[in-house]
């Protein structure tokens, strides 16, 4: 069996639970779907997408009357919109309990939710407060249960996957956290925590320097499960921050510092000029990054070759965004 450089099988497919309507299943309240071509065609070729539809699977039927979330002083309830209004909370909760047991057999590495749905939406659902006649934004009932059950699962909604940048960031998070899960499943943590951190250092640094320092301290603390669990939680939170242009330039300069003595004066000049141009114009970092990749390979610089920031998992790199 061929292995990746983190020791996991090369052909291992990442499991991502996905709202069925995004995959083209006609399960919405109006009998339609909300197919996303990128999810249903592109991602489905590279990841194992497991469809779920809380409302259809709970037996509410297709088509069905639309519903909304209502919060009163007692509880959060799922209520039909059309009169006579009916409370569907218990029906959905029974489904959620069954589904959680089923999915827990192999918990998903990621979940893609349909936004705005009172079952699936992620912080994008209007929740009506009758006592104050106000609406606040919240998450659907199934989405809430998933977030609680699998805090280390990479959870997004399709409305956050419409730009190239956001798609790239989602895949990056998914593959980092997949490597994290692999580390836990193999029983390699906490022994291998330092090496894991060293290989992800620049992905973390591109988001938050303080988080890098805290995560670094966690790798150096006394061995034990709480330290490992805290590392995983903080890692996922940090990866949710989009990398800033300024911090990415810092990352490039750090990486450059590891190789500058191995390249000629004119090559050094070329890198510095490419990076300065990108810094001043705030343009893509593609050129200095390509320079670093090329030189890392040419000089066989092991430290740089092991950086996931520079050389993403080939399975991740193969997914068009
Ligand atoms: S948003 Fe969720 S509940 Fe609604 S149709 Fe899609 S999968 Fe089903």
Task: Evaluate: CB of 54 within 6 angstroms of ligand 1.
Answer: yes
pLDDT digits (tens, 9 = 90+) for 8-44: 666 778 999 999 999 999 999 999 999 999 999 999 9
1: in domain: no
- 199 with 221, same domain? yes
Q: Which atom of ligand 1 is nearest to the CA of 51?
A: 7
Confidence of residue 224 (pLDDT cuts 50, 70, 90): low
81: in domain: no
196, 216, 239 — which closes off a domain?
Answer: 239
- 224 with 115, same domain? no
- 48 with 98, same domain? yes
**What pLDDT, on a 0 to 100 scale, did the predictor assign at position 189?**
65
Only one residue has tokens 């497991």, namely: 50
Which tokens hold the place of 30? 């109006």
Confidence of residue 229 (pLDDT cuts 50, 70, 90): confident
- 264 with 234, same domain? no
Q: Which atom of ligand 1 is nearest to the CA of 116?
A: 1
Strand partners, 113: 157
145: in domain: yes
Q: Whose CA is nearest to atom 6 of ligand 1?
A: 21
83 C-alpha vs ligand 1 centroid, how far in Å? 22
- 101 with 179, same domain? no
- 210 with 268, same domain? no
What average pLDDT score do residues 47-51 get? 96
- 118 with 170, same domain? no
223 C-alpha vs ligand 1 centroid, how far in Å? 43
222: in domain: yes
205, 239, 273 — which closes off a domain?
Answer: 239
Q: How far apart are CA 51 and CA 28, in angstroms?
A: 13
Q: How far apart are CA 136 and CA 308, in angstroms?
A: 39
What's the number of domains the chain is made of? Answer: 3
71 C-alpha vs ligand 1 centroid, how far in Å? 21
Task: Evaluate: CB of 20 within 6 angstroms of ligand 1.
Answer: yes
- 116 with 173, same domain? no
- 150 with 20, same domain? yes
Output 185-193 pairs: Cβ under 8 A, ≥24 positions apart: 186/7, 188/7, 189/228, 190/223, 190/224, 190/225, 190/227, 190/228, 191/223, 193/218, 193/219, 193/227, 193/228, 193/231
> How many residues comprise the chain?
321
- 101 with 151, same domain? yes
What average pLDDT score do residues 279-291 get? 94
Predicted model pTM: 0.92
Q: How far apart are CA 58 and CA 88, in angstroms?
A: 10
pLDDT for 143 beyond 80:
yes
Residue 205 burial (C-beta neighbours within 10 Å; 0-12, 13-18, 19+): buried
18 C-alpha vs ligand 1 centroid, how far in Å? 10
119 C-alpha vs ligand 1 centroid, how far in Å? 7
Task: Evaluate: CB of 27 within 6 angstroms of ligand 1.
Answer: yes
3-state secondary structure of 321: coil
Q: Quick one: which of 184, 163, 158 has its CA closest to 49?
A: 158
What average pLDDT score do residues 151-159 get? 95
What average pLDDT score do residues 60-65 get? 95
**What pLDDT, on a 0 to 100 scale, did the predictor assign at position 73?**
77
233: in domain: yes
Q: How far apart are CA 124 and CA 53, in angstroms?
A: 17
What average pLDDT score do residues 89-103 get? 95
76-102: burial string, b at 16+ Cβ within 10 Å, e else: ebbebeeeeeeebbebbeebbeebbee
**What pLDDT, on a 0 to 100 scale, did the predictor assign at position 2?**
61
Q: Which atom of ligand 1 is nearest to the CA of 117?
A: 1
216: in domain: yes
180, 208, 239 — which closes off a domain?
Answer: 239
pLDDT digits (tens, 9 = 90+) for 194-212: 899 999 999 999 999 999 9
What average pLDDT score do residues 92-116 get? 94
pLDDT digits (tens, 9 = 90+) for 106-121: 889 999 999 999 999 9
256 C-alpha vs ligand 1 centroid, how far in Å? 47
Confidence of residue 294 (pLDDT cuts 50, 70, 90): very high
69: in domain: no
1 C-alpha vs ligand 1 centroid, how far in Å? 38
pLDDT for 252 beyond 60:
yes
51: in domain: yes
**Domain limits for position 187:** 164-239
Task: Evaluate: CB of 117 within 6 angstroms of ligand 1.
Answer: yes
Q: Quick one: which of 178, 174, 182, 113 has its CA closest to 143?
A: 113
DSSP 7-39: SSBTTPPPEEEEEGGGGT---STTS-----HII
Q: How far apart are CA 193 and CA 183, in angstroms?
A: 8
Confidence of residue 131 (pLDDT cuts 50, 70, 90): confident
- 37 with 150, same domain? yes
Q: How far apart are CA 33 and CA 20, in angstroms?
A: 8
- 219 with 104, same domain? no
């Amino acid at each position: 069996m061929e292995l990746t450089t983190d020791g996991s099988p090369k052909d291992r497919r990442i499991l991502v639970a996905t709202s069925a309507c995004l995959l083209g299943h006609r399960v919405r309240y109006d009998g339609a779907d909300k197919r996303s071509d990128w999810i249903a065609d592109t991602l489905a070729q590279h990841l194992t997408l497991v469809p779920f539809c809380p409302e259809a699977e709970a037996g509410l039927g297709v088509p069905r009357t639309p519903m909304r979330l209502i919060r009163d002083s007692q509880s959060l309830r799922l209520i039909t919109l059309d009169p006579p209004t009916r409370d569907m909370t218990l029906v959905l909760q029974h489904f959620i309990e069954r589904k959680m047991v089923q999915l827990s057999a192999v918990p998903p590495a990621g979940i893609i939710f349909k936004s705005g749905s009172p079952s699936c939406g992620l912080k994008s659902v209007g929740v009506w407060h009758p006592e104050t006649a106000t609406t606040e934004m919240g998450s659907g009932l199934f989405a809430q249960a998933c977030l609680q059950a699998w805090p280390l699962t990479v959870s997004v909604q399709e409305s956050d996957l419409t730009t190239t940048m956001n798609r790239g960031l989602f895949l990056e998070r998914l593959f980092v956290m997949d490597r994290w899960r692999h580390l836990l499943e193999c029983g390699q943590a906490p022994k291998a925590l330092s090496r894991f951190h060293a290989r992800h250092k620049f992905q973390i640094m591109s988001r938050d320097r303080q988080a890098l320092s805290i995560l670094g301290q966690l790798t150096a603390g006394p061995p034990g499960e709480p330290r490992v669990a805290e590392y995983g939680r903080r890692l996922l939170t940090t990866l949710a921050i989009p990398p800033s242009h300024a911090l990415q330039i810092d990352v490039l300069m750090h990486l450059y510092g590891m190789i500058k003595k191995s390249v000629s004066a004119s090559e050094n000049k070329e890198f510095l000029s490419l990076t300065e141009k990108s810094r001043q114009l705030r343009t893509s970092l593609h050129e200095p990054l390509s320079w670093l990749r090329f030189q890392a390979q040419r000089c066989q610089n092991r430290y740089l070759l092991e950086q996931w920031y520079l050389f993403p998992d080939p399975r991740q790199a193969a997914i068009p965004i």
